[in-house]
């Protein structure tokens, strides 16, 4: 004797049949999925840009510090050069 389907299985079959024929629902689902994908990709892109910006800023600070140290060592420390003028 075949087993009778549950109420949930009947409801799910009826719902899936109705949605299978609804092109508007498919279009809505497609738009929502694309929107989620765009938001996730945009968020990841902004995160990567911020990371790269921080790396460039750090390189610039290190270069400025290296130039400042190099310039400080090139300045003569002889005090006679100031009094000769």
Q: Is the pTM of this model over 0.75?
A: no
With beta carbons less than 8 A apart as the criterion, state whether 25 and 19 touch: yes
pLDDT at 81 exceeding the cut of 60 = no
SS3 79: coil
Q: Where are the domains of the chain?
A: 30-72
pLDDT at 61 exceeding the cut of 70 = yes
Q: What is the predicted pLDDT for the residue at 38?
A: 93
Q: What is the predicted pLDDT for the residue at 34?
A: 95
pLDDT at 79 exceeding the cut of 60 = no
Q: How far apart are CA 35 and CA 41, in angstroms?
A: 10
């Amino acid at each position: 004797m075949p087993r009778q389907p549950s109420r949930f299985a009947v409801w799910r079959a009826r719902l899936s049949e109705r949605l299978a024929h609804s092109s508007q629902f498919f279009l809505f689902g497609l738009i929502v999925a694309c929107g989620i994908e765009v938001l996730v990709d945009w968020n990841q892109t902004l995160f990567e840009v911020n990371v790269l910006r921080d790396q460039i800023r750090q390189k610039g600070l290190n270069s400025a510090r290296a130039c400042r140290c190099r310039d400080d060592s090139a300045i003569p420390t002889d005090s006679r050069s100031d009094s000769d003028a």
